[in-house]
Amino acid sequence: MSITVRLLFLLLVIGNVGFFIANGVVDEYQRDDFPAEFVFGSGTSAYQVLFLAVVRLNWIGDGSGSVNAKGLQYYNNFINELLSHGIQPHVTLFHDDLPQILEDEYGGWISRKAVLGGYDVGFTPPGRCSSPFGFGNCTNGGNSSYEPYLVTHHLLLAHASAVRLYRKKYKGRQHGFVGINVFAYWFEPYTNTMEDLKATQRAHDFYLGWFLNPLVNGDYPETVKKNAGNRIPSFTKLESERIKVPSGTIGSTESP
């Protein structure tokens, strides 16, 4: 059984939501366990929780390790609590933190092998500690001049792979969907000069078009390709066709 199938099977077992708990497994999940600022009511229709706790479930990488029954029960309780309030949960399998075993095995998202990891939603945001623009302690080095383009390329290929797999093997009987989530920064031109208008469009292309344009048109925006040059990978004809497979949803993470 491939890694992709194993991780998708995990998704099917636990339901449609993930939540990372650093200390212990909660036997029951109740209303009081939600963040204090979380608002229940008609205005809350969906809930995204960051990063499916693969380490909590003990289902890692190549499928080694047994599934943690208490971990499964935790997620089931969490899902039931959301559903009882009329909230549709959505799983996020990756949010900033790739499991260490996959980092060690594949070399992270800069390796094409990470496409086999089967992540399907929550590629938000892609992040890697690369000088000179990395956050925090970047002693492990890296190269921010081209690695972000590799990471994005492999994330998009992984998403397309998971979408095709789910639709082929599971959608017919489950009627579910696989989506992708992106940061939704918005920009306005400082003035109406052509220079500022072009700068605004360039910003949109790099923040949104970089991820979304391939899903719609099968390729990166011309602005991105022109500025990145040979640092950005190219899609093959087959990859371009596959990546245009419509996502079930396109979500946005809005930041101030």
One-character DSSP codes across 60-87:
BTTTBS---HHHHHHHHHHHHHHHHTT-
pLDDT at 237: 94
| Distance, CA of 148 to CA of 212 (rounded, Å) | 16
User: Looking at the predicted structure, is the pLDDT value of residue 57 above 70?
Assistant: no
How many domains does the chain contain in total?
A: 1
Q: Could you tell me if residue 220 is inside a domain?
A: no
Q: Could you tell me if residue 100 is inside a domain?
A: yes
* Most confident listed range (8-12, 63-67, 99-103): 99-103
pLDDT at 5: 36
pLDDT at 185: 81
Mean pLDDT (the chain, rounded): 69
Residue 156: HSE in the Cβ half-sphere, 13 Å Cα cutoff: 31
Q: Could you tell me if residue 194 is inside a domain?
A: no
Q: Could you tell me if residue 144 is inside a domain?
A: yes
Average pLDDT over residues 201-229: 93
pLDDT at 200: 95
The predicted-structure confidence for 140-187, as pLDDT tens digits, reads as follows 556 778 888 988 898 898 888 888 888 889 889 988 878 887 877 889
Beta strands of 102-235 (E only): which ranges? 179-183
Token representation of residue 73: 């029960």
Q: Could you tell me if residue 216 is inside a domain?
A: no
pLDDT at 190: 95
Q: Could you tell me if residue 205 is inside a domain?
A: no
Q: Could you tell me if residue 52 is inside a domain?
A: yes
User: 251 pairs with which residues across the strands?
Assistant: 181
| Distance, CA of 79 to CA of 32 (rounded, Å) | 15
Q: Comparing 109 with 181, which gets the higher pLDDT?
A: 181
Q: What is the enclosing helix (H) or strand (E) of 47? A: strand 46-48
Average pLDDT over residues 186-206: 94
Poorest-pLDDT segment among 1-10, 105-114, 174-183: 1-10
pLDDT at 127: 47
Range of the domain at 108: 3-184
Q: Could you tell me if residue 50 is inside a domain?
A: yes
pTM: 0.62
- What is the chain's length? 256
User: Looking at the predicted structure, is the pLDDT value of residue 14 above 70?
Assistant: no
User: Looking at the predicted structure, is the pLDDT value of residue 251 above 90?
Assistant: no
User: Looking at the predicted structure, is the pLDDT value of residue 189 above 90?
Assistant: yes
CB-based contact 58:67 (threshold 8 Å): yes
User: Looking at the predicted structure, is the pLDDT value of residue 79 above 70?
Assistant: yes
pLDDT at 144: 74
